[in-house]
Amino acid sequence: MRRVLKVVGGVLLVALLGLAGVFAWAWQRSEAGLARRYAVADPPLQLPGDAVSLARGRHLFETRGCNDCHAAGGVGALVMDAGPVVRVVAPNITPAQLAARGYDAAAIAAAIRHGVRPDGTPLVFMPSHDYATLGDEDTAALVAYLATLPDSGHEPGAIEVRPLGRVLYALGRLPLLPAEMIDHAPRERQAPPVGETIDYGRYVAAVCTGCHGADFAGGAPLALGAPPVANLTPAALGDWRESDFFRVMREGVRPDGRALHPMMPWKAFSTMTETELRAIWLHLRSLPPVASPE
């Protein structure tokens, strides 16, 4: 009996040592990623002050997901608490709070399009890969609008990358640092003309690629209990009509009457203009069809 207990104890000890080694490796990998610095040298933005541009900035804030994560007025909010994986918090981005953290206009633009802080270190879970191609005028309008938000002292808490999250990151299964996926080469970014065109639809729909993928073919669930991310290519949309797409985006209801899963932030996009939604629809219908996994 003692021999059995010794064997069992030895196995447990080896398992614990192995687990500790995995966590130590994951901690080292994640800390190295968090400490990396990225150089951002985009051309300076010309910040507007006219009412039309500020209205454009507000529209972008409300329809590109900023409002959905950072909450109305940019006061910050808890986005998700995934237990041992991660606690995701969108920080307070009202003017005084940003200034206190060292953000000027250029640094805000870099956070939006490059996913980095003023010191060049990467932001955690900031979906900048969705905004990396945002045009200079649109970025300037958004930055200018943020400067008009009422100051707030609301403190939503801090992001926590927990042990399992660090392991998943180290294994390449958790997009902890979107800055790692972005081309940081300095360049001007020109948005296509606003219109019901495939080009403009591709530009607007960039905000969807973080979840649905660059090819819009969807994939694995984004969280435990969530369904797979939907395939939006013609192969999956099948006989959807434009009116079906509008209903999904405006009401969160599929053509068969089923409600979208709460993970789909349709409310954040529901106030897009008809031009924007029609352009996205045209873009989706133009994509190469990709079959969904069985």
pLDDT digits (tens, 9 = 90+) for 82-114: 999 999 999 999 999 999 999 999 999 999 999
Q: Which pLDDT belongs to residue 1?
A: 58
User: Please, which residues have CB within 8 angstroms of residue 67's CB and are 6 or more apart in sequence?
Assistant: 61, 268
* Span of 19-23, 84-88, 194-198 with lowest mean pLDDT: 19-23
Residue 5 reports pLDDT greater than 60: no
CA 25 to chain centre: 26
CATH class of 198-286: mainly alpha
pLDDT digits (tens, 9 = 90+) for 202-235: 999 999 999 999 999 998 887 767 889 999 999 9
- Contact indicator for 242, 158 with CB cutoff of 8 Å: no
Say yes or no: do domains 51-181 and 198-286 share a fold. yes
State if pTM tops 0.75.
yes
Residue type, 286: S
pLDDT digits (tens, 9 = 90+) for 254-264: 999 999 998 89
* Span of 3-7, 73-77, 112-116 with lowest mean pLDDT: 3-7
Please give the order of strands across the beta sheet that includes 160-161: 77-81, 86-90, 160-161
Phi, psi of 210, rounded to the nearest 5 degrees: -60, -35
Domain boundaries along the sequence of the chain:
51-181, 198-286
CATH 1.10.760 fits 51-181, yes or no: yes
- Contact indicator for 53, 46 with CB cutoff of 8 Å: no
